Amino acid sequence: MNTAFTFLLVLLFVATPVAARGEFPAGSGKSSPFGTSAQREFLATKEAFRASAWRDDRRLYVGFVIAEDYYLHRHRFALESRSPGVSFGELAIPPGEPMVHASLGEIEVFYDQVVFSAPIEASDTAAEPLAITVTFQGCSDLGLCYPPELVELDALYGFPSGSLRFSSS
């Protein structure tokens, strides 16, 4: 009995670290309880956070449609012009939903969608597309936080139809 107990104890100490690293052999086609199937359930960044941009004579607008069970961090938005002679003033970002994040503390986040804007500062604001780079960061409610991302967009003149959903409330 003592030998069996010792064997089980050794097996427990060997199998637990291996399973925690996801290296436990899964067998032929069988799913392992220690496998990484949850990792395959996360959306790619561009699917989880779909960005678009548009402009009028004085402002640039950036909108994100956010997949269900995902959110964007309010404090991580940044904007940079890639168009010569064009810059942007201070971002106007609406208030987000308060959240206590496990590693960041109290922050504000956006679910579903968000639109923010910035004044266009340029000598000539003709109705040409503006090349911009938007920085953002988001997470999944299941615990995955993506690293800060950059997306390059062309902000066309006028509101892009069909890219954002607005409720009547």
pLDDT tens-digit series, residues 2-45:
554 444 333 334 343 433 333 333 434 444 344 444 455 899 99
Task: Count CB-CB contacts under 10 A for residue 5.
Answer: 9
> Do 59 and 138 fall into the same domain?
yes
Tell me which of 69 and 10 has the higher pLDDT.
69
> Do 60 and 127 fall into the same domain?
yes
Q: pLDDT value at position 79? A: 97
Assigned domain for 169 exists: no
Give percent of the chain above pLDDT 70. Answer: 67
Question: In 3D, which of 56, 61, 76 has the Cα closest to residue 150?
Answer: 76
Inter-residue contact 73 to 138 (CB < 8 Å):
yes
Question: In 3D, which of 33, 83, 32 has the Cα closest to residue 55?
Answer: 83
- Secondary structure of 68-133 in HEC code, one letter for each residue: CCEEEEHHHCEEEECCCCEEECCCECCCCEEEEECCCEEEEEECCEEEEEEEEEECCCCCCCEEEE
> Do 56 and 19 fall into the same domain?
no
Tokens 């960044």 belong to residue: 45
Instruction: Locate 62 and state its tokens.
Output: 């950036």
Assigned domain for 166 exists: no
> Do 21 and 72 fall into the same domain?
no
Domain region containing 148: 43-157
Assigned domain for 134 exists: yes
Mean pLDDT is lowest, of 31-35, 66-70, 102-106, for 31-35
Q: pLDDT value at position 41? A: 85
Q: pLDDT value at position 125? A: 59
CA-to-CA dists, residue 76 to 34, 107, 137, angstroms:
33, 10, 6
> Do 147 and 95 fall into the same domain?
yes
Q: pLDDT value at position 146? A: 96
> Do 78 and 120 fall into the same domain?
yes
The C-alpha atoms of residue 165 and residue 39 are separated, in whole angstroms, by 29
Q: pLDDT value at position 88? A: 95
Give me the number of domains the chain comprises: 2
Render pLDDT for 128-145 as a digit per residue (tens, 0 to 9). Answer: 889 999 999 999 999 899
Render pLDDT for 152-161 as a digit per residue (tens, 0 to 9). Answer: 999 998 876 6
> Do 122 and 68 fall into the same domain?
yes
> Do 70 and 123 fall into the same domain?
yes
Burial 50-81 (b: 16+ CB within 10 A, else e): bbbbbbeeebbbbbbebeeebbbbbeebebeb
Assigned domain for 60 exists: yes
Mean pLDDT of the chain: 79
> Do 85 and 13 fall into the same domain?
no
CATH number where 73 lies: 2.60.40.1250
Assigned domain for 165 exists: no
> Do 123 and 51 fall into the same domain?
yes
> Do 93 and 20 fall into the same domain?
no
Inter-residue contact 91 to 77 (CB < 8 Å):
yes
